[in-house]
Amino acid sequence: MPDREDITDLRLLRFDAMAVLTHEKGLPELIHVVHLLPYGKENQIEVISSNFYSLRFNFKEFINNLEAEMDRARAIDVNDPREKAILISVSTAPKYILEEHMEELEELAKSADVLVIDKIIQRVKRVNPKYLLGEGKLRELIIKAMDMGATLLVFDQNLTPSQIRAITDMTELKVIDRSQLILDIFARRAHTRDGKVQVELAQLRYMLPRLTGKGTAMSRLAGGIGGRGPGETKLEIDRRRIKERIHHLENELEKLTLARLERKKRRKELSIPIVSIIGYTNAGKSTLLNALTKSSVFVEDKMFATLDTSSRRLKFPEEKELIITDTVGFIRDLPEDLVAAFKATLEELEDASLLIHLVDISNPQFENHIDSVNKILKDLGLERKPVILVFNKIDKIPFFEVKQICSRYNAIGISAKDRKTLIPLIDEIKNRLWEEVTCNAPL
């Protein structure tokens, strides 16, 4: 009979079936054919035992019927072209924090057009340095993922290069972490040359230390005579080309930064104040920009729906005007490489006369979002900038809660979709800018 190790191999290696033949005095006697059962069945396997000489088994027909039954049991459309992912969070943090982070990871996955088929949260006393979770648990997870038809494992925790190697050595499924997921979203949403260069730079910096001998075939990023050194391995060539590409992108980003500085210089010469809208991703920044300036910046109810900075003019009846900019959304634990790549974009906040910190009041984690944005502002050295705290989406929660929260934070409540609610914000912007002009005016 097949033993436990045989069954594990059957499931992990995805064999169609496995047969164990017993013999008596060198002659075949019994044959035991074991195969997997569709996901959700009480028993994971079925064993068909028979005398070797009387076995009648149409293997092809049997496997075709079994695979069709497995597809039905998975309850997912096998023709759906999207990646089918299991989200995983393993940490020593309290369970409620893990659940909050998992909700955000699911939103990120949806923004990346990934179909989430399961979520696994595991609170551990100690994180396994090699696999993040125990080797046995990881094997069970991989088997479950394959049973459910998953094509992708997404970890909420950032994986080290050695952890990625260890996990991918155990499975042929794609394995990524939260940073890679965010980078993928940014790559999809960047449309300007500036944004595309910054995203590619961040991706290459992230990829470089994680290059391994497995699955690292890359398109040629450089060429010409002498492009290949004697005795170089494919891995070394890939690393060298990535470094060359990074150097090229850094030079291009420097040129784009100079062009951006020229534009800022011209704005300063015109003495037009700048108001920048900042906030956690999906707080409604682009919707607010559209409402204030009657423009049509792309808006979607997804994380990082808009990535490129947008600027619009806002004119007041008193012959005054200002420029309003919409920045990329902030998020907790933003990948370091991405912060570095987008620092040039976020440096535009230095020239802002005023920041509008927009917060989604309907999100249960809004307090953590405020803290995350404030931390990034501090990292950029912008914590002393004048800020108006604005709670958006007040139409989604009861009025008395809005009043209480706004009072506690000394903030303004609005619904960016209802222009009537923006009047107090517009008045506050005018008052703050007038105060700043007065304070900075020569005596």
Residue 306 assigned ligand-binding role: yes
| Secondary structure (DSSP) of 351-377 | G-SEEEEEEETTSTTHHHHHHHHHHHH
Residue 284 assigned ligand-binding role: yes
Per DSSP (E only), the strands in 341-439 are 354-360, 387-392, 412-413
Residue 192 assigned ligand-binding role: no
DSSP letter at 390 equals E
DSSP letter at 396 equals G
Residue 158 assigned ligand-binding role: no
What residues contact 205, with CB distance under 8 A and at least 6 apart?
A: 246, 337, 340, 341
Question: Are 263 and 271 a contacting pair, CB within 8 Å?
Answer: no
Residue 222 assigned ligand-binding role: no
Residue 118 assigned ligand-binding role: no
Residue 15 assigned ligand-binding role: no
Question: Are 156 and 89 a contacting pair, CB within 8 Å?
Answer: yes
Residue 282 assigned ligand-binding role: yes
- Cα torsion 307, 312, 316, 318 to 10°: value is 130
Residue 279 assigned ligand-binding role: yes
Residue 166 assigned ligand-binding role: no
Residue 329 assigned ligand-binding role: yes
- Cα torsion 52, 55, 58, 62 to 10°: value is -90
Residue 160 assigned ligand-binding role: no
Q: Tokens 């995350």 identify what position?
A: 372
Residue 326 assigned ligand-binding role: yes
Residue 307 assigned ligand-binding role: yes
Residue 413 assigned ligand-binding role: no
Describe the strand order of the beta sheet including 321-326 as a list of residue ranges.
310-315, 321-326, 274-279, 354-360, 387-392, 412-413
Residue 17 assigned ligand-binding role: no
Residue 385 assigned ligand-binding role: no
Residue 19 assigned ligand-binding role: no
Residue 415 assigned ligand-binding role: yes
The two beta strands, 18-24 and 45-51, are unpaired
CA dist., res. 169 & res. 192, Å (int): 38
Residue 430 assigned ligand-binding role: no
| Secondary structure (DSSP) of 19-45 | EEEEEETTEEEEEEEEEE--TT-SSSE
Residue 285 assigned ligand-binding role: yes
Residue 411 assigned ligand-binding role: no
Residue 195 assigned ligand-binding role: no
- Sequence ranges of the binding site for Mg(2+): 286, 306
Binding residues: 279-286, 304-308, 326-329, 392-395, 415-417
Residues of the binding site for GTP: 279-286, 304-308, 326-329, 392-395, 415-417
